[in-house]
Structure 1
Amino acid sequence: MPRLSLTNLPVTPAVDPGSLSIGVVHLGLGAFHRAHQAVVTERAAVATGNTRWGISGVSQRSAAVREQLAPQDGLYAVLERGLGDPTVQVIGSIREVLTAPESPEAVVARIADPAVSVVTLTVTEKGYRAKGGGLDLDDPEIQADLTGRPPRTVVGQLAAALARREAPLTIVSCDNLVANGPFLRRLVAEYFDARGKTPDVFAASRFPASMVDRIVPATTEDDRAEAARLLGVRDEAVVVAEPFLQWIIEDEFAGDRPAWERGGAVLTADVAPWEQAKLRILNATHSMLAYLGALRGYETIAEAVRDDELAALAHTLITEDVIPTLTPPDGLDLTAYGATVLERFANPALKHRTTQVAMDGSVKLPVRLLGTLQDRLTAGAEPTTLTLAVAAWMVYVHTTPALDDPQAPALKSALANATTPTAVVDALLALPTIFPATLQSAPALRDLLITQVAALTPRNQ
């Protein structure tokens, strides 16, 4: 079967890819970006006819995405799986693919290009190389960037490009971090402080907060086969997504930008209420179902949420522990939103693996669960379901040999001699890179975690 390309176009992109010039750089060219920001950017181009906002996508780690997209002239399909028949759309908004480890100088040069006025990021929580609320200046990769090599970290890339620019830049974080825009600005400022010089353009640059939402499971061979059947050509870069897509962006830009609101995004003066609702309802529930589901042997989130007991726990988490801590944004019914989240998770067409959601728990836990936990304890509540989610993470960490987590060595070292539920809880609760002192010193939390870890630990452990 021939491969998708500009010469093999069974489904024409909504915008002629050849007409697009590059005005946006995206750092973190994974499946999520291709199913989310790239789609909204293309929709905006369709609505406005503006061809200035083609995307230069940067893979931060491997050349795999470039090897998928380059033979296809940057084209790929989004395979939407809902309750009905799947649909497929070819996207052409990514006009260049760079690989940071191979071409670090080219990445910086592209961000510094005067034609580029917007950078977006989906590099996952660990890609920010933060520690204790600020930049981890002891991180060996940050240290290497600071010593003058062509930068390979996200913060280093942004700082190096800003230092070359005359015009300010808008940098939009799209990762699941609280106040992600201001947080990223702080990291870049601390990087400049470590270098001893801050360029004038930094003060005029903008770091709007944003919130993104779309379930994008890992693509399987079955998905590629389905896309090939629908397209009539082979697509090695196909991504899978649910029909739902949401992007909330703080209306704070340094210059020109794509008309994302014409492509389905919502611009607002305050992202925080949307962000908190999503992090604490959707992401927290996703993590809880991932850990509890994995411990029960479920391969996907949909399987986990179809377990009546786990579904009931997820509902309880949302209604009794999370919603009391939130202030809803205008137009959002939190109870209805929570019900919609569980319906989306139960979509059998989306095979979102529990182990995929469970990865990087040490950086997800603080922003998804621990803030809510602290709020409920402060309010005098006993957040049993919330602590069960944390206990499930502890057992998952303890019982998973090949743990996919940036702190895996520290986690496994802490647990080296932990042979009882009490020892597991004490070892993990003592880690200041995950648990704040206020939670470490909460005896009621410790007691509840020990009971729950004991109940979740397999009998042969």
Structure 2
Amino acid sequence: MEKQLSIKTLDQLSRDVAVPDYDVHKSQCGIVHIGPGAFHRAHQAYYTDLALAYGGNWRIHGVSMRSNTLKKALAPQDNLYSLAVVDNTPSLRVIGAIKTLSTLSEDRGVITAALCSPATKIISLTVTEKGYCLNNTGSLDVENPDIQHDLANPDFPISAVGLITQALKAREHSGDADVTIISCDNVTDNGKKLAKAVIDFAYYLSPELAHWIQDNIAFPCTMVDSITPATDDEVKSNVSANLGLKDDWPIQRETFTQWVIEDHFSGPRPPWEKVGVTFTKDVTFFEKAKLRILNGTHSTLAYVGLLFGKETVYDAISTPAIQALISELLEREIIPSIKTDSIQTLNQYADDIVARYHNKHIRHMLSQIAWDGSQKLPFRILDTIRDNLHAKREINLLCVPIAAWCLFVTHKARSGDAITDPKASTLINLASQNAFEPIAVTNALLNETVIFAELSTNSVFRGHVLAQVKSLSAWSSRGVDETLQLLLGELL
């Protein structure tokens, strides 16, 4: 029987495999992380693993809000797992930063104790946009079922917002305010939005609690970046072969990784600055550049690529007409929307992003990137459109991914395929009510003010999206290159 990765078998690994450079027996937890998915394990846990070599009790207590799958998979491995960096020069590292994994439905008492423990100095989270439970005005969505449950049962929360507030209420009582709450999600002003959600929630429980949180607890903004495809059986097989040990849930990512954190903390922090994390007074520039240049083109590749039968980012960017679309979109409409004194730096960043897409070793599925479009597009594309409209710049190309998303919803609904999106039922119903006719469905989707806000009534925006839907709908008779060449010819 193949031996399993664990603390006991670490000494059996090849010298080519990096291992934790600290005592995994003695080091304790100082971080509780809500949502220990693949990105967290490839990114924040990786940086923390490196930082632990400089000392301190900064291991992570991971908290899954729903599933116990990760907990069960990593338990036999002492919560160790492999990080495969996939590039022309691949590497493999065993990460030991996660000491404990818990699931809310099974370990509520353990989780509450960890969140309230004086030893915990950082509470971080990756729960995606929908986990913040905000409405389209940026305030707490009190109509959200999870928030309604938590307001009625504040001692038994099921949302991340409710869980954090419960912990801060206990810390207010104990006078233990030296804890920092760090959002690591791809959301603009993520720290400010998380603070807004938590303080709004706390206010419903107690105005005094809300004021205490506002006065004592830091919610720094962050920018995170590294392409992290989902783990499949092929990844598991390759990693186990290279390890010489069985790893039930390894992860993979590209070489490039970046973490920028606003230098605003309520208490101590790991020595992340020694291992490549950037601390800054203002994350806004980094955040906007990443959201618009990387995430904006990522979503464009996803919806346009899927429309033309592409499977991965590499497949899409290797299609000449799609690469031309991305290049023109960046140069003409995305980069001009970002204020900077160094346009050359921004151009180089954009070139580096496109180069990353050409990493043939990464199978980053477009279908995965297309998840939660109703939540992602407002940050990745719509804000850029708003800025360009305000500055009287072009939005023609920016409307292409919006049109492609409308067609994505239409085709998925027509074929009966599932749509991974918190508003999936609404999207499918709109498509069905409009007989899956692309123009009618697009008009109905654009009327959804929860997604498009004031853009729903902007005739210029609507006109461009509808025109792009008509052009892209012709793909079945012409193919990707001819369709996009004609489209670019019309728009430029």
What residue in structure 2 maps to residue 291 of structure 1? 303
The alpha-carbon deviation at position 385 of structure 1 amounts to 1.1
Residues 456 and 198 from structure 1, CA distance in 2 versus in 1: closer, same or farther, beyond 3 angstroms? farther
The alpha-carbon deviation at position 197 of structure 1 amounts to 4.1
Q: Give the counterpart of 1:334 among 325, 346, 350.
A: 346
Residue ranges of structure 2 left out of the alignment (5+ in a row): 478-492
What residue in structure 1 maps to residue 132 of structure 2? 128
Q: Does 1:170 align with 2:189?
A: no
Q: Is the 8 A contact 2:430 2:445 kept in 1?
A: yes
Q: Does 1:36 align with 2:43?
A: yes
Aligned residue runs from structure 1 range 198-213, under 5 A: 198-199=208-209, 201-202=212-213, 203-213=215-225
Q: Is the 8 A contact 1:25 1:110 kept in 2?
A: yes
Aligned residue runs from structure 1 range 108-119, under 5 A: 108-119=112-123
- Structure 1 range deviating more: 18-27 or 353-362: 18-27
Counterpart-to-counterpart distance in 2, 1:444 and 1:52: 55
What residue in structure 1 maps to residue 482 of structure 2? none
Q: Does 1:159 align with 2:160?
A: no
Q: Is the 8 A contact 1:174 1:210 kept in 2?
A: yes
The alpha-carbon deviation at position 318 of structure 1 amounts to 1.2
What SS does structure 2 have at the residue aligned with 1:146? helix
Q: Does 1:359 align with 2:371?
A: yes
Counterpart-to-counterpart distance in 2, 1:287 and 1:459: 19
Q: More helix by proportion, 1 or 2?
A: 2
Aligned-partner residue type, residue 5 of structure 2:
L
- Structure 1 range deviating more: 8-17 or 119-128: 8-17
What residue in structure 1 maps to residue 290 of structure 2? 278
What SS does structure 2 have at the residue aligned with 1:321? helix
Q: Is the 8 A contact 1:56 1:97 kept in 2?
A: yes
Counterpart-to-counterpart distance in 1, 2:261 and 2:226: 15
- Structure 1 range deviating more: 191-200 or 326-335: 326-335
Aligned residue runs from structure 1 range 133-148, under 5 A: 133-148=138-153
What residue in structure 1 maps to residue 322 of structure 2? 310
What SS does structure 1 have at the residue aligned with 2:450? coil
Deviations 1:346-386 (A, max 9, x none): 21111010010000000001000001011112222332110
Residue ranges of structure 1 left out of the alignment (5+ in a row): none
Q: Is the 8 A contact 1:208 1:250 kept in 2?
A: yes
Q: Give the counterpart of 2:199 among 164, 189, 200.
A: 189
The alpha-carbon deviation at position 105 of structure 1 amounts to 3.4
Q: Is the 8 A contact 1:274 1:329 kept in 2?
A: no
Counterpart-to-counterpart distance in 1, 2:355 and 2:259: 19
Aligned-partner residue type, residue 436 of structure 1:
A
Q: Does 1:427 align with 2:428?
A: no
- How does the TM-score come out when normalised to structure 2? 0.90
Deviations 1:156-198 (A, max 9, x none): 0000000011222200101111111011101001101222344
Counterpart-to-counterpart distance in 1, 2:22 and 2:357: 32
Counterpart-to-counterpart distance in 2, 1:151 and 1:104: 9
Q: Give the counterpart of 2:78 among 64, 73, 80.
A: 73
Aligned residue runs from structure 1 range 299-448, under 5 A: 299-328=311-340, 333-400=345-412, 401-419=417-435, 420-437=437-454, 439-448=455-464
- Structure 1 range deviating more: 245-254 or 219-228: 219-228
Q: Give the counterpart of 1:180 among 180, 190, 196.
A: 190
The alpha-carbon deviation at position 272 of structure 1 amounts to 0.3
Counterpart-to-counterpart distance in 2, 1:237 and 1:51: 27
Q: Is the 8 A contact 2:229 2:365 kept in 1?
A: yes
Q: Is the 8 A contact 1:43 1:263 kept in 2?
A: yes
Q: Is the 8 A contact 1:63 1:99 kept in 2?
A: yes
- Same amino acid, percent of matched pairs: 38
Q: Is the 8 A contact 1:15 1:92 kept in 2?
A: no
Residues 266 and 329 from structure 1, CA distance in 2 versus in 1: closer, same or farther, beyond 3 angstroms? farther
Residues 331 and 111 from structure 1, CA distance in 2 versus in 1: closer, same or farther, beyond 3 angstroms? farther
Residues 415 and 226 from structure 1, CA distance in 2 versus in 1: closer, same or farther, beyond 3 angstroms? same
The alpha-carbon deviation at position 220 of structure 1 amounts to 1.4
What SS does structure 1 have at the residue aligned with 2:157? coil
Aligned-partner residue type, residue 372 of structure 2:
D
Counterpart-to-counterpart distance in 1, 2:225 and 2:343: 17
The alpha-carbon deviation at position 139 of structure 1 amounts to 1.0
Residues 313 and 114 from structure 1, CA distance in 2 versus in 1: closer, same or farther, beyond 3 angstroms? same
- How does the TM-score come out when normalised to structure 1? 0.96
The alpha-carbon deviation at position 201 of structure 1 amounts to 4.5
